[in-house]
Structure 1
Amino acid sequence: MLKSILKYLISSLLALVLLSWAFSTSHLHWRDLLLTFFKADYNWVTVSIVIAIISHLLRALRWEQLLGAMKYQPGTVRTFSAVLIGYFANFLVPRLGEVSRCGSLKKTADIPFEESFGTVITERIVDLLSLVVLVGITFIFEWKPLQESLFPTLHLPSGTLIITASVLGLLGLGILWKFKDFLQKVGKESKVGKMILGWVAGIGSIRHLDQPGKFIGYSAGIWLCYYLSTYTLFLAFPMSENLGMSAALTVLVMGTFGMATPTQGGIGAYHSLVASAFVFYSLAYKDGFMLATFFHGTQMITLLLLGGISFILTLFLPKINSRVDQN
């Protein structure tokens, strides 16, 4: 109990420190934020919110497919509600979302916590790999602004970057394949190795899906919706509407890293990273921070509202036995 309280206090303190630092660095005043919010085109904001909700629905459908491979059919209403409850919980306590969504399905669909949590781990591995691919695509298409901001003295053509990254990636895979037996032996003898081998096993479980193509489609659809939701928010503000679709890719990647930090809903880290991303495109840090605050606030309000509604809904949903007869 004490350990959980300490973790919560540390994460809250970290969020407060990061947010305070971002505010002081940007020299932003609350009046500036209010003026920015009043100038927003809420037609585009509404479109962005709708697209974001679709991404959450796709995540629920993908999770439902993983559960189906384990002979459970909880239904979309229960899985969608559980996903939204998980997002809601993450804004209260970092990393509580995974536990909350599995607890929700235990309550409404009688799915053992351990089994549903295993599917969540598989989901997280797939999301991590998707993010790695997204980062690679971002560096390929947005190498110039990133290079000018991060590596001003480095002059490396994007073509050379692609070839170098491809060669190094293939070389790394070749080494892993060459020494796979040795790595498996070492992996079983260490905690980190066991964790990595567990991740590999989790990815391998996807092979048991009835329709793996649908799973890939759901995964691609989730990230496409994330991207479109970000880009449509660009269109809601005069200062960002002309930055282009590729800039939205950079903001999405930086924002994803921010949301992954151990703070409630990525508070503080998201604001700092996204504001810095806008600087890559010659936007003042102050303006970038205002946009980051609006982007994050839109997500937070939507997820807290929908998550709260979902929690209330689960109180009235009858508990079912979602286990499908294997005979």
Structure 2
Amino acid sequence: MGSKLRFETDPHNRLLVRSSSLRVPQYRRTLEGTFKAGKGNVLVYQLRKSSGSDVPQQIKFTGNWTFEKGETLVFTLDKWSNRGHTGKLYIGAKAIDARSDELVFEVNTKNTDNSERFYLLRLTGIWQADMRNRLNFVVEKERGDCDRLTFEGSWSINEKNQLAYVLASRRLKRKKDRTRALVFKGEWEMADRHTLSYVLSRELGSRFDFQVGLRRAGEGFVRYEMFIGAHPAGKSITLKGNWNLDARKGIIFEMKKEGERVSRLTFGGKCRLARGKVIEAHLLDAAGKDTGVSLKLSRALAKGAGEGFLEVLASGRECVLSAGYGLLW
């Protein structure tokens, strides 16, 4: 049986090989190359091509992915799947892009001539929120199991109603603060009374489901309060857009996306005409239950709900719009 090896990384993200047996002379060697994720997100170290070979050499590892201190990927080797070889590989990696099925990192290394080199490492999987409303990237593995990379920091909603995770913020002299963030492209929807979802890919099931309660609604905005695990405590989600009434769908909150696309949240409402000028609506959820939040809308929006809605309002009676169904008689 050959001697067992221990694999590590040096400060420049290069693979370091040591002998782990006391029966053989101590062996230590730094291998020049780059890390990448192979099929099933196994870790592959691509060695620099040697002068005597046209085929690049590779070392493939199986193990578990974790995330530490925001910018360190950790890969722990599975001893039994790597011929008894052991090790924990710390890869200094900056997350630079997030897609519905991919998380992209930038890694830098140094060559033997001391020149610096940057490259990308891509992991595949889906995004989810955990019970504490933290963002998690679920790394899908070869045998059907998965690892979770948890982003412990804070996230927010930008001016385009997109979810953004702040990676780093640096204050510059005489200039505005420079912030680096992962921006997720998706659309908002109410999955149920207490679940506000940001859907990245419906087909893949890549989505953030947040536990919330409707807190307030007003001209141009709707605000939700998060129940548990919010960072910082008391965190809320405020979305910006426009209110409309629809005879078939109910009370609609519309948010513009890139291009001509529009994302919508749908509510029901008990509506009446207040002082003949504004529509006062008590918002209902999809199940028809009162949310405890009221909203004042311009009377001009009543045209979108149809003639029947206008007639009921004009008579002074209360009119009910059902989420997804529209006017109820």
Judge same fold: TM > 0.5, yes or no: no
Larger-Rg structure: 2
TM-score, structure 2 as length reference = 0.21
